[in-house]
Amino acid sequence: MKLEYPMKRNGMYLLKKKDFDDIAALVLSNYMPRVLEYPKPLDIESLAQDEFYLDIRYDNIEPDGRILGMMAFADTEYYSRGYSAERGAIELAEGTMLIDYSLCGKDNRARRRYTQAHELSHWICHRGYHSPTNQQYEFRRNRYVACRTENIESYRRNDFSERTDNDWEEWQADSLAAALLMPKKTFVEAVETLFREYGVRRYLLPGRDNKIARDIISEVARTFDTSYRATQIRMIHLGFIARD
């Protein structure tokens, strides 16, 4: 899937906040249009595996849990810094999404789904950056991207002040992940419905509306099968919660 957006000479897309909603709408309308009909959870595993032909695997990536997911852009190996040499390398084939075992289990379902969406977003946005021609022998950068805990479900105030390509890459993946799991059209519909039920006119104010905000965020999170934090950040970015 090729995106029609300007890019830097090195292959990094130049994307603005509003672009991620458009990209998500394009992806979902092409592959899973029913998710745009009414507020509901996205089957992110099916989207990644059946439509983008990615292989989702689980492993203990790092013993301290600092890396939650990886996306392999070509056949490669990953050597953990924390495990003993006897463990060997984790072999990854091109198109492999690796998710840390710590995200398995019912309690971490929302976090796992978001990490899967984040890694899929890397595949959508950054495959060309890591290989402009998508030919393994011409790779100029890492053959994989490893995503740290702090880069997933992250809230950044100054989106356009990032200084490195890695910063841009993680911001883009996180922004698209939110737009895929919580499409703007149905997300706005869900929030506005709850606003009417709770008597909220335009937006929630931190400090004044804390109790109502917790209830609304929790209900929206259940609707889209996302975490409280990811839902709260999405509501802030779409103007439903005033910034501090």
Question: What integer is the mean pLDDT of 211-219?
Answer: 92
Going from N- to C-terminal start, the domains of the chain cover 17-181, 185-237
Contact 95, 72 (CB under 8 A): yes
Give the mean pLDDT of 42-71. Answer: 93
- pLDDT average, residue stretch 119-140: 72
* Per-residue pLDDT, 54: 97
Q: Is the pLDDT of residue 8 over 60?
A: yes
Q: Name the more confident of 89 and 159.
A: 89
* Distances from the Cα of 172 to the Cα of 4, 87, 104, 159, 238, angstroms: 15, 33, 25, 9, 16
pLDDT at res. 40: 97
Determine the pLDDT at residue 58. 94
Confidence (pLDDT) at 233 = 93
The answer to which of 50-54, 137-141, 145-149, 168-172 has the lowest mean pLDDT is 137-141
Q: How far apart are CA 130 and CA 242, in angstroms?
A: 37
- Residue identified by tokens 């709850």 is 194
User: Are the C-beta atoms of residues 241 and 204 closer than 8 Å to each other?
Assistant: yes
pTM > 0.75 = yes
Q: Which of 20-34, 105-119, 150-164, 209-223 has the lowest mean pLDDT?
A: 150-164
65 contact partners, CB below 8 Å, separation of at least 6: 100, 102, 149
pLDDT at 3: 86
The residue with tokens 């499409």 is: 183
Residue 138 has pLDDT above 50, yes or no: no
Provide the mean pLDDT of the chain: 86
Q: What is the mean pLDDT of residues 97-104?
A: 93
Greater model confidence, 82 or 103: 103
Specify the pLDDT at position 63.
Answer: 83
C-alpha angle with apex 20: 130 to 195, nearest 5 degrees? 150
pLDDT tier at 137 (50, 70, 90 boundaries)? very low
**C-alpha Rg value of the chain to the nearest Å:** 18
State yes or no: pLDDT of 175 exceeds 70.
yes
